[in-house]
Amino acid sequence: MKRNAVILLLALSALAPALEIEKFRPLFNGKDLTGWTGEGYIVEDGCIVCTPNGKNLVTDATFAAYVLDFDFKLEPGSNNGLGIHYPGHGDGAYTGMELQILDNAADKWKDLKDFQYHGSLYNLLPAKREGLKPAGEWNKQRVIVFDTMVKVALNGKAILDANLAELADKHPDHVGLKCRSGQIAFLGHGDKVTFRNINIYEIPPLANEKGAKAAGYTQIFNGDNLTGWKYKSTGEHNWYASNGILKHTGKKGETNDLWTEENYGDFTMLFDWRWAEVGEKKAQPVVLPDGTEKLGPDGKKELVEIEELDSGIFLRGDSKCQINLWNWNCGSGEIYGYRTDPKQSPETKAACTPKHKADFPAGQWNRTMITVKGQQVSVTMNGHSLIENAILDGMPPEGPIGLQHHGQAIDFANIWVKRD
């Protein structure tokens, strides 16, 4: 049984603290709030503490599927929450979802509704009211989020088992139930709550490894390290492997695209990818179906504000032959170097423009296939054909495959290649 299947099975059964999954990584460094943004939280004695001014404290990173472990300590009557799939705006209990963090024993909470007590999905599904230690004592909590599944274990006791799809049918107006990725947040109400040992294990998307091998594909990312890949760096390792996921930190200032050590001529590449942080707002052109950019009444390019997210796949070692992964209106799959080349024919520019935008919402995994045969390139994503036999005149006959770093955090997983 392969890594991702093993991890999923462990996650589904990982309700006892004694069951440890290797290689969790910390979300809190114990020193400061690096990696978090918010108001009214401080670091004290290696812990995050919600102060009387505490509101939301949100991770810079976004997450899709994971096992999250953390310790927390309540004061009498304390109230906080764990936001999951939070989009970074609005009330986290509704734009995302909130798992209650609450002193159940406090007299002032005796008349709450059942879905307001500790571990419950607020306003959606009650948790079992057991396992919570008295205020002033440390509790251990594990939260498992995978696809439509949310599970919570408190001090070794399973207290919540939620199916988001079923809940969405019952609560059609709850926007957060439709989210499948987002930031993690502590949702404060000005009560003192202390957190420590905040660690996460991200679960990569499942893949049919047996089927891929039978079809002639070879896995070119082993999930453990960067064996078979190379990049130039000034010393900071911005690319790294984490439990089956190939991650880039998103740090700017370096030209450190990641390249395969092997060269490829004709090939088909299968891979999963997702954005791992929120991008800055930026105005970008509107790309039309024929590959041209929309002009306004004044004859200038019409711009639209987007969340700037940008990366790509370089083909045969040539940066011009790049399949864009980005958040422009035309969607991923676009071949920018040819679409914008004034020497190319209108037919080529149109062929290098995606038929439509097939990207899932930022933070979710996208499954993509790129086929390169001679000078022709085709791209499908999430089951949709985007580019069909675009001719890239001048593309080298062979060269390495590259993963572009363009200033935003991005994850890759399940990278397979078949030589044709």
Mean pLDDT of 368-380: 98
Q: Which residue has the tokens 């251990």?
A: 140
Tens digits of residue pLDDT in 297-322: 999 999 999 999 999 999 999 999 99
Structure confidence at residue 237 (pLDDT): 75
pLDDT for residue 4 is more than 80: no
Residue 222 CA to residue 224 CA, distance in Å, equals 6
pLDDT for residue 169 is more than 80: yes
Q: Which of 34-48, 135-149, 246-260 has the lowest mean pLDDT?
A: 246-260
Mean pLDDT of 93-101: 98
Q: What number of other Cβ atoms are within 10 A of residue 207's Cβ? A: 22
* Domain pair 3-202 / 209-419, same fold: yes
**What confidence category does residue 1 fall into, taking pLDDT thresholds of 50, 70 and 90?**
very low
**What confidence category does residue 168 fall into, taking pLDDT thresholds of 50, 70 and 90?**
very high
Q: Which of 136-140, 156-160, 232-236 has the lowest mean pLDDT?
A: 232-236
Residue 52 CA to residue 68 CA, distance in Å, equals 26
pLDDT for residue 327 is more than 70: yes
Contacts by 319-324, CB closer than 8 A, 24 or more apart: 319/402, 320/394, 321/377, 321/392, 321/395, 321/396, 322/404, 323/370, 323/377, 323/379, 323/387
Structure confidence at residue 11 (pLDDT): 54
What are the structure tokens assigned to 169, written together? 């049918």
pLDDT for residue 254 is more than 70: no
Mean pLDDT of 111-116: 96
Residue 170 CA to residue 165 CA, distance in Å, equals 9
Instruction: Report the b/e string of 289-326 with b at 16+ CB within 10 A.
Output: eebbeeeeeeeeeeeeebebbbbbbbbbbbebbbbbbb
Residue 364 CA to residue 366 CA, distance in Å, equals 7
pLDDT for residue 199 is more than 70: yes
Concatenating the DSSP letter of every residue in 253-269 gives: S----EEESS-BSSEEE
Q: What number of other Cβ atoms are within 10 A of residue 188's Cβ? A: 25
CATH number for 3-202: choose from 3.30.565.10, 3.40.50.261, 3.90.960.10, 2.60.120.560: 2.60.120.560
Three-class DSSP category at 178: helix
Structure confidence at residue 2 (pLDDT): 52
Name every residue whose Cβ is closer than 8 Å to that of residue 22 and which is 6 or more positions away in sequence: none
Structure confidence at residue 357 (pLDDT): 97
Domain layout of the chain by residue ranges = 3-202, 209-419
Tens digits of residue pLDDT in 11-64: 555 554 444 556 789 999 999 999 999 999 999 999 999 999 999 999 999 999
Structure confidence at residue 19 (pLDDT): 46
In the β-sheet with 258-260, what is the strand arrangement from edge to edge? Answer: 229-230, 258-260, 402-403, 310-315, 318-326
Phi, psi of 392, rounded to the nearest 5 degrees: -105, 85
Structure confidence at residue 263 (pLDDT): 98
Of residues 1 and 335, the one with the higher pLDDT is 335
CATH number of 209-419: 2.60.120.560
Structure confidence at residue 182 (pLDDT): 98
Q: What number of other Cβ atoms are within 10 A of residue 283's Cβ? A: 11
Structure confidence at residue 16 (pLDDT): 46
